[in-house]
Amino acid sequence: MSAEQSPLLELDAVSAGYGPVQALSAVSIRVMPGEIVTLIGANGAGKSTLLMTICGDPKPRSGRVLLAGTDIAGLPTHAIMRQGLAQSPEGRRVFPRMTIRENLLMGAETLAEGGDRSAQLDQVFTLFPRLRERLAQRAGTLSGGEQQMLAIGRALMSRPRLLLLDEPSLGLAPLVVRQIFGAIRDLNGKTGLTVLLVEQNANLALRLAHRGYVLVNGRIAMEGTGAELLARPEVRDAYLGGGAPLPPPLPADGPNPA
């Protein structure tokens, strides 16, 4: 087996949770170098927990997390992230009292001190020109969508080998979502960036990704290529709004105070 065929990231029967809550049960997934893999699932299925467990917060209760063949389960979060991972987490988590520029530079904190960051900054500004216009603005005062752009930009600053994205489309206008997805594809094509993408927007995500997993109640229920999953009736029904009944129409005389 050649080096290229061994996974960059492999979860082997990983279970995790919070106190009495068991959020992931024996989850096994693989992400090959250069792949875009997406993880879809209903609210509360455990998608964010999966991304965070890879980063060591929470730590897996059992199972192995292999990064390029080395078990990183049990390492502290900062040590894991220093091995070339970056996450744009759920809820954006920009530093509210730092400027856009400072937030972006925080993303490169794992790189050697004092290095030149202008290439990465330029890359981010090419993706999100809006951020360049507001470099000195405090991140806490940005709009939700702008914060999302900043969180993704920050994750790119360290030039990660594995990028974890938790619902990057959340709160963004459709045009910007397409732009971001286009950017992910570009980065993947040009630099071979490996991406594990959690998305509510299953339609877009499955179109973008090489492969996908469906998470149901903390377990992997299905896996396949994007096209395969898109074609599955169960996926269409549950995640693409295929079979879901439309909500009843609103009464003509406005909202009911009930």
Partner 1 sequence: MAYALQQLINGISLGMIYGLIAVGYTMVYGIIGMINFAHGDVFMIGAFVALIALLLLQLGGVMDGTAAILLMLLASVAVTALYGWTVERVAYRPLRGSFRLAPLISAIGLSIVLQNYVQVSQGARVKPVEAVLRGGVEVFREGDFAVQLSYMQMLIIGTTLAALAAFTILVTRTPLGRAMRACEQDRKMAALLGIDTDRTISLTFVIGAALAAVAGTMYLLRYGVIDFYIGFLAGVKAFTAAVLGGIGSLPGAVLGGLLIGLIETFWSAYFSVQYKDVAAFSILVLTLIFLPTGLLGRQEVEKV
- Which residues of the chain form contacts with partner 1 (CB under 8 A)? 55, 57, 76-79, 81-82, 87, 89, 93, 95-98, 102, 105-107, 109-110, 113, 140-142, 144, 147, 154, 158
Q: Please list every residue from 63 through 122 that binds ligand ATP, using CB under 6 A.
A: 90
Q: What is the DSSP letter of 47?
A: H
State the minimum distance, in angstroms, from the CB of residue 78 to partner 1.
5
Where does this chain touch ligand ATP (CB under 6 A) — which range of 39-47, 59-67, 120-128, 155-163? 39-47
Task: Identify which of residues 131 and 215 has a Cβ nearer to ligand ATP in the complex.
Answer: 215
Task: Identify which of residues 25 and 49 has a Cβ nearer to ligand ATP in the complex.
Answer: 49
Backbone angles phi, psi at 82, to 5 degrees: -75, 0
Structure token digits, residue 204: 């877009």
Q: Is the dihedral of CA 187, 221, 57, 60 positive or negative?
A: negative
Give whole-number Cα distances, 34 to 8, 14, 160, 164, 220, in Å. 9, 23, 12, 13, 22
Task: Identify which of residues 48 and 83 has a Cβ nearer to ligand ATP in the complex.
Answer: 48
52 neighbors 58 (Cβ within 8 angstroms): yes
List helix spans (H) across the chain: 47-54, 77-81, 100-107, 118-127, 129-133, 144-156, 174-191, 202-208, 226-231, 233-239
User: Residue 57 binds which one of partner 1, ligand ATP, Mg ion, none, with CB within 5 to 8 A depending on kind?
Assistant: partner 1
Choice from 6, 15, 28, 48 touching ligand ATP (CB under 6 A) = 48
Q: What are 21's strand-pairing partners?
A: 18
User: Residue 49 binds which one of Mg ion, ligand ATP, partner 1, none, with CB within 5 to 8 A depending on kind?
Assistant: ligand ATP
Task: Identify which of residues 77 and 217 has a Cβ nearer to partner 1 in the complex.
Answer: 77
State the minimum distance, in angstroms, from the CB of residue 156 to ligand ATP.
22
Per CB under 6 A, does 49 bind ligand ATP? yes
User: Residue 133 binds which one of ligand ATP, Mg ion, partner 1, none, with CB within 5 to 8 A depending on kind?
Assistant: none
Please count the residues of this chain forming the interface with ligand ATP, following the rule CB under 6 A.
12
C-alpha–C-alpha distance, residues 34 and 188, integer Å? 7
Task: Count CA within 13 A, CB hemisphere, residue 136.
Answer: 0
Backbone angles phi, psi at 57, to 5 degrees: -145, 90
User: Residue 15 binds which one of ligand ATP, partner 1, Mg ion, none, with CB within 5 to 8 A depending on kind?
Assistant: none
Q: Apex CA 78: angle with CA 72 and CA 79, to 5°?
A: 40
Per CB under 6 A, does 44 bind ligand ATP? yes
Q: Which residues bind ligand ATP (CB under 6 A)?
A: 18, 21, 23, 41, 43-49, 90
